[in-house]
Amino acid sequence: MKSTRKILIAIGALLALVVVLLAVLPVLFAKKIESRVKAEMNRNLEARVDWQDAGLGLFRNFPNLTLRLDDLTAVGVGKFQHDTLASIRQLRVVVDLASAIRNATGGRSPIVVRAVELERPRLSLVALEDGTANWDITKKDSAREPEAGRPLAVSLQRFAIDGGTVSLDNRAARLRASVLGLDQTLTGDFGNDQVAVETRAHADSVTLEFAGIPYLNRVRLDLTANAAADLAKKSFALRQGTGLRLNDLLLAVSGTVTSAGERLGLDLAFGAPKTDFKHILSLVPEVYAKDFQTVRTTGAVAVAGRVKGDYGDKAFPSFSVRTKVDNASFRYPDLPLPARDIFLDLSLTNPGGSADNTVVNLSRFHAVVGSNPIDAGLVLRTPISDPDVDARFKGTIDLADVRRTVKLDRVRELTGSIAADAAIRTRMSWVDKGAFDRVAARGTVDIRDFAVKSEALPRPLSIQEASLQLAPRRAELRSFTGTVGKSDIQASGALDNLLGYLLRDDDLRGTATVSSRTFDLNEWRSDEGELSVIPVPPHIDFALEAQVGRLLYDRLTMTNARGRLRVKDQRLTLENFSVNTLGGEVALNGFYETTVPAKPAFDVGLKLQRIDIPSAVQQLNTVRLFAPVAKYARGNFSADLRVNGGLGKNMMPLYQQLTGNGALQTSQVAIQDFPALDKLASVTKLDILNDPTLRAISSKFEIRDGRLHIQPFSVGIAGTTMTVSGSNGLDQSLQYDLALRVPRSMLGGEANQAIGGLVSKAAGAGFNLQAAPEIPLGIQLTGTVTNPSIKVDLATAAGSAAQAAGDVLKEAAASQVDSAKLKAAAEAQRLVAEAEKQASSIRAEAQALAGKVKAEGYQQADSLEARSGGNALARVAAAAAADRLRKETDSKSARIVQEADARATALVAEARKKAAAPAP
């Protein structure tokens, strides 16, 4: 019994030791193996490779070690220094444990890699027009650093990808491809020269485009490949059972692939051993996506192809692919119409040497949908260097028949017709050089009563009529009338580069005149009621002359919007664009861009004329945030400013990021119930600060760091002057300095008490303080808009008064004036003060009269526009007459103010002249 217990204890101790070793060994070797992997990568790759975290464990692939690298990235250098070539959620490298221990303890044997596993890799492969590729990151032998570390051997038995994404943009070959949801396993004992290789691959979606023509569009792919590999000769021979499935189309593949230097030798054949029309039809995404298994088809199909030759640097293999469909049809059992009489003969051929030698020949396409036949053909040569196009299309498509033939699950409504009879024969070089006498282009495309409602569209789209006419030089949009949601659109214009846009990814250039009676941008709101980002489309270069009678945005209603719009490089530029809104006019110059769709940006210059302050506060959040005093103001303002920044997903400015500057002018402004002035009036006992009326303001400002910074400016207020400077923030905080000069007789409260002592002291010396009638007050305004904090600098006021008194006493002593002269001086000061009071009254009455005249004139102008009716010419004439009336009103109001100011100035000057006269 005791011996059994000892044995169990020994076994338990041994197991514990094993567990401890399994836990400790990875810790001992983790840093060495991690640094070894990083050294090998940096030694062999021309890229910046890094990862967030690393780990080493024995349990996942026991008895081998598993090195784990989390969030690995490879960023290019040189021409691709800002591009991420690869990002991998997790890379796992399985290492032979014995080789790792020998290497770590000083042996010269290599670390042996058994498996590589990639979890959620994202590869972005780009080749530039000059042939430079971002995936060519392996250092040349001559450029490698001398090997300082111990050797690293690869004896793979397994390679796996889980959830990969691959994009390819080969600009030199005009080849684009994307692979989504890629899962792949590759197995084989690569430690031997002769290897039986098996690979299985699946992709949720594959898209392939060559020379502007899509060949695969969101196709599911499955690959099963078995090959006999001779690693010594670098050759792979595909065995029976190798197949490629594209949706429901199964292609058998046979042949060999060899590697010689940087070239691949290809000798492959493929074809469809058992194919009916349904398998070819599965490559159409709209058909395959919905109830495809229920589709009934007829017709014969043939698919065959071959690739032979070298592929690599300055080498391109020959290939031929042909697909032929004879008299096919398909029909959904629960839809009323079939698509019938389908014929297709498509071939792609290339004799080798260059991808530019490819010839695409769609010699025939014919189909009948409903009762309308459709015919098309295409020949495309030299697709890379100089696309040579011969294309034709003829037919009428009844869109209601399309919906009765094909299941369009996300489309709720589809009606109307598209009729086309067009042909083009040209080379792109002829178009580029303007040799339009060599271009053959004719035909029309007409759309009638088109209407679509779809989940893919934010609002219903309808086109009452549109007509496009092809000509050698350009495509003329003779007419376009339609609606997007509730917004109507009318347009005409021309497309100057339709072929380059279709075949070579050039920008689509054009000009157009666009008008709308009402355009509602609020229809772009999301389901949550917020505006969503309105993207500016890429590859568009359009110049638009636009006029919108009524433009709606958020809570803002704008009328008579007109100006020039330029769409280019995903940027919408406004040139001399203006609208009438908020009781005045706004002119805009600037841009809005969505080059980064998630981060729209803008940079706009604004010129605002006669904007009603209460309306601006009610409609514009920016005014409420940056000018909180406007909430308590009545009047109008004009401004000239430039502001830039970013927009959020709801198309509202990101206020903390806004920067800008400008100038502001106001007419006479009445302030009511502004907490800061109310509190200042309570502290100083100055009645003039209770709901004051401010004279015209002219100031400059800057927006930065979430605050509006005001440069110092002076404003008249009830016969006194206030100087203002400081800033307020988005958080409604206030940081302002006010300097107020008021007659001493108006001072109340603590200020009057503080100066009272000075008055008594001066009187004892025979000094009348009325000789210094104005007292300056320094005021600090802090806190928030609704809870302000006031600090009055009384010491400054007292000091200024004392200085004034001291100056007068010194002058009296030096001149030995008597009390009679002092009384005369006091009388002179009284005369001046009385004149200034009368002058202030004259100016105030003039301001009131000018305001009344202006209000009446503007009311007449508005009434004139309102009576113009619905006729466009009448509206234009009325708007011009109203503008003239407003200008005349402005001029008349200004003359009233100027004449009153001149009379007031003369009155004060006369009083000062009398005060300066010698006493009798």
The pTM assigned to this predicted structure is 0.67
pLDDT tens, 863-892?
766 666 555 555 656 666 677 777 777 788
Q: Mean of the per-residue pLDDT values for the chain? A: 81
Confidence category of residue 511, pLDDT binned at 50, 70, 90: very high
CA 331-337-341 angle, to 5 degrees, is: 70
> Which token pair is 890?
């402005």
Say whether pLDDT at 368 is over 90. yes
The answer, yes or no, to whether residue 206 has pLDDT greater than 90, is yes
Alpha-carbon distance 573 to 561, whole Å? 15
Q: What is the pLDDT of residue 320?
A: 96
Q: In this predicted model, what pLDDT tens digit does every residue of 722-771 receive, in sequence order?
A: 899 999 998 889 999 988 877 766 665 554 554 444 344 433 444 344 44
Per-residue H/E/C for 58-105: CCCCCCCEEEEEEEEEEECCHHHCCCEEEEEEEEEEEECHHHHHHHHC
Confidence of residue 798 (pLDDT cuts 50, 70, 90): very low
Q: What number is the average pLDDT over the span 675-690?
A: 82
- Coil, strand or helix: which one is 864? helix
User: Which tokens go with 137?
Assistant: 């990151």
Residue (of 299, 345, 343, 351) closest to 322 by Cα position = 345
Q: Break the chain down into helix, strand, coil percent, rounded to 5.
A: 30, 50, 20
User: Reduced to 3 states, what is the DSSP secondary structure of residue 347?
Assistant: strand
Write out the H or E segment, with its range, that includes residue 443: strand 440-454
Q: What is the pLDDT of residue 797?
A: 42
* Closest CA relative to residue 223, chosen from 203, 196, 238: 203
Digit-coded pLDDT (tens) for 214-244: 888 899 999 999 999 888 888 989 888 889 9
- Mean pLDDT, range 392-403, rounded to an integer: 95
Q: Is the pLDDT of residue 548 over 90?
A: yes
